[in-house]
Amino acid sequence: MIPGLDETFLAMNGDILTTLDYKELIKHHRENQAALTIAMHQKDVKIDLGVLETNERGELTSYREKPLFSFAVSMGIYVYEPHVLRYLPKGQHMDFPDLVKLLLHKGRRSRDSLTGLLVGYRTTRRL
């Protein structure tokens, strides 16, 4: 698909500020024999209200006051093996989440795994 691209490669969004060690990320990718590795960090989301849970009849089953949820989220930094490119449709646009879903659907978790590495992440705010 891309002439000469026959080695592990790194792709990322263009607006990232991070302390991520790219050597360690690629090492992790190779050690796990992954087709795709997604750099991740932990994101906490606090809900400033009480959260209600109900059953199928709309009856209250649980109440949590101002809960904190934690998610592993993508940093926008990815390590690929070149063979992943064969899943991209020629001449068509494909969003990254669609590629990940396709790889999962094709069973890439077994022989060629999809991995995520939890790493430190720093952001700056716009002034």
Q: What is the pLDDT of residues 3-51, one digit of tens each?
A: 888 999 999 998 887 888 888 889 888 888 888 888 888 889 999 999 9
Which of 81, 75, 9, 71 lies closest to 39 in space, CA to CA?
A: 75
Residue that the structure tokens 């991209």 belong to: 88
Q: What are the distances in angstroms from CA 79 to CA 12, 23, 32, 45?
A: 9, 11, 12, 27
* Helix locations, 40-118, DSSP H: 96-105
Average pLDDT over residues 90-106: 88
Provide the sign of the torsion angle of the four alpha carbons 103, 106, 112, 116, taken in this order: positive
pTM, two decimals, is: 0.74
* Helix locations, 1-117, DSSP H: 22-31, 96-105
Q: Is the pLDDT of residue 126 over 60?
A: no
What pLDDT, on a 0 to 100 scale, did the predictor assign at position 74? 86
Q: Is the pLDDT of residue 52 over 90?
A: yes
Residue that the structure tokens 């795994």 belong to: 113
Q: Is the pLDDT of residue 109 over 80?
A: no
CA distance 59 to 13: 44
Residue that the structure tokens 């949820």 belong to: 69
Considering only 13-22, 43-52, 105-114, 118-127, which range has the smallest mean pLDDT?
118-127
Q: What is the distance, to the nearest Å, from the Cα of residue 121 to the centroid of all Cα atoms in its chain? A: 14
Tokens of 16: 């990232």
